[in-house]
Amino acid sequence: MDFNLSEDDKLIQETVRDLAMNKFAPRADEIDKKSIFPEQNIKELAELGLLGTILDPAYGGAGASTISYSVTLEEIAKACASTSVITSVTTMVGLAIQRNGTEEQKEKWVTKIASGEIIGAFCLTEPTAGSDAGSLKTSATVDGDEIVLNGQKLWITNAAHAGVFLVMANENPSLGHKGISAFVVESGSEGLEIGAPEKKMGLNGSHTCAVFFDNVRIPIENRLGEQGKGFSIALASLDTGRIGIASQALGIGEAAYQASVNFAKERNQFGQPIYNFQGVSFRIADMKMKLEAARLLTRKAAWMRDKGMKHTMESSMAKAFATEVACEVTQNAIKTHGGMGFSKELPVERYHRDIQATLLYEGTNDIQRVVMVKNIFK
Ligand code: CAA
């Protein structure tokens, strides 16, 4: 068993780390405080081919491993968590089209996602269908050679900036989730309306909006995969997406841990650096230990995906564990910083706000446990 990153993965890690630390980190505070969409960050990631890391080279991707994708998101999240979720969701949409699309669909959209020309939005959640995603109500009706979409999506990451929307909608509600199909809707389609960005606790650079479909007409060729397979397409996409969220959490947690180490070395009390006190240093040792355990779980899920193994359960375990560990780490980073941890002058309070969403999106951690239980007792 080899726990080292491959040479290719290391190279990607160094490239992203350099970009994230030198360019993204200095911008992160303003992005957060002014809720600015990090357009420049996305452009710079695209220029280095980092938006299509795991997409197929046949469609402009880098064809890199899932481990490198995880490492990429971790490095981005250390500097700017908003940028990492924008990247993660875009990749999830690109992968869904790549895995289920026709040659024409892949040529049309995966290439644009891989090059960074467009970003993607994943439209599953609705006002009355969050955890119970299979009960979604957005309807899709065939009308000649077109599909007509009606309904509303909620909490849609990237909605205000996306070029493509992957939309799960029901073609035959009497079949329940088996009536759901997936569709690709392009921005600018008539009847497609984007709501105002939600006012959130964190991840302020990632604009999350409602999306409204009022008789939106798309060509029937925009159905992705088989009719009635949309729910499975969505859940399979989340199997990879959840590795992305685990990686994002690792990045936020790692940033909080590093800040704590630095602070504990620099801050003197009772005539000595505070890391000399075991109450502080043991807490930091626990941060390191738990983050490393979370990283191993995340890398294992990524490795299984690379090997073509089913990884639903491992993705859920990684997502739940990494996000909960990182939440604890960010909380303990605030404790370690004392009053400065509560101040907006330092980024630790942002880490603690940003991490909260990772416990909730791409399936709450209660839902991850539902997935685990389904796999344990199947
Ligand atoms: N891959 C492919 N297919 C899968 C699957 C998987 N991992 N898991 C289940 N399926 C299939 C099943 O085989 C079944 O298919 P058939 O009916 O054809 O046999 C079908 O899906 C339904 O399976 P279940 O009966 O297990 O489904 P369920 O209704 O009980 O729901 C659930 C399961 C785990 C609760 C699921 O609804 C779920 O994950 N909910 C959370 C939704 C979620 O994660 N939303 C995130 C929104 S996206 C987001 O947050 C992105 C962002 O912006 C950051």
Query: 124 CB under 6 A from ligand 1?
Result: yes
Indicate the top mutation candidate among 235, 237, 374, 375 to test ligand 1's pocket, ranked by most ligand atoms within 8 A of CB: 235
**What does each C-alpha distance from 229 to 100, 176, 223 come to in angstroms?**
10, 12, 10
10 Å Cβ neighbour count for 162?
26
**Whose CA is closest to atom 20 on ligand 1?**
232
What atom in ligand 1 is closest to the CA of residue 363? 44
- With a 6 A CB cut-off, is 182 part of the ligand 1 pocket? no
Residues recorded for the chain: 378
- The CATH code belonging to domain 7-119 is 1.10.540.10
The answer, yes or no, to whether any atom of ligand 1 lies below 6 A from the CB of 273, is no
Task: Give the pLDDT of residue 342.
Answer: 97
What is the rounded distance in angstroms from the CA atom of residue 165 to the CA atom of residue 157?
10
pLDDT value, residue 368? 98
What CATH number should be reported for the domain whose range is 232-376? 1.20.140.10
What does the domain layout of the chain look like in residue ranges? Answer: 7-119, 121-229, 232-376
Query: What's the whole-model pTM score?
Result: 0.97
For a mutational test of ligand 1's pocket, the pick from 167, 232, 240, 248, i.e. the residue with the most ligand atoms closer than 8 A to its C-beta, is: 232
pLDDT at 1: 81
pLDDT at residue 378, rounded to an integer = 86
Task: Tokens 């969050």: give the residue.
Answer: 130
What Rg do the C-alpha atoms of the chain give, in angstroms? 21
Give me the CATH code for the 121-229 domain, please: 2.40.110.10
Q: Which atom of ligand 1 is nearest to the CA of 134?
A: 29
Q: How far is the CA of 146 from the centre of ligand 1 (A)?
A: 27
First to last CA, the chain: 29
- The verdict on the CB of residue 126 being under 6 Å from ligand 1 is no
Tens of pLDDT along the chain (378 residues) come to 889 999 999 999 999 999 999 999 999 999 999 999 999 999 999 999 999 899 999 999 999 999 999 999 999 999 999 999 999 999 999 999 999 999 999 999 999 999 999 999 999 999 999 999 999 999 999 999 999 999 999 999 999 999 999 999 999 999 999 999 999 999 999 999 999 999 999 999 999 999 999 999 999 999 999 999 999 999 999 999 999 999 999 999 999 999 999 999 999 999 999 999 999 999 999 999 999 999 999 999 999 999 999 999 999 999 999 999 999 999 999 999 999 999 999 999 999 999 999 999 999 999 999 999 999 998
Which residue stretches of 151-309 are H helix? Answer: 230-266, 278-306
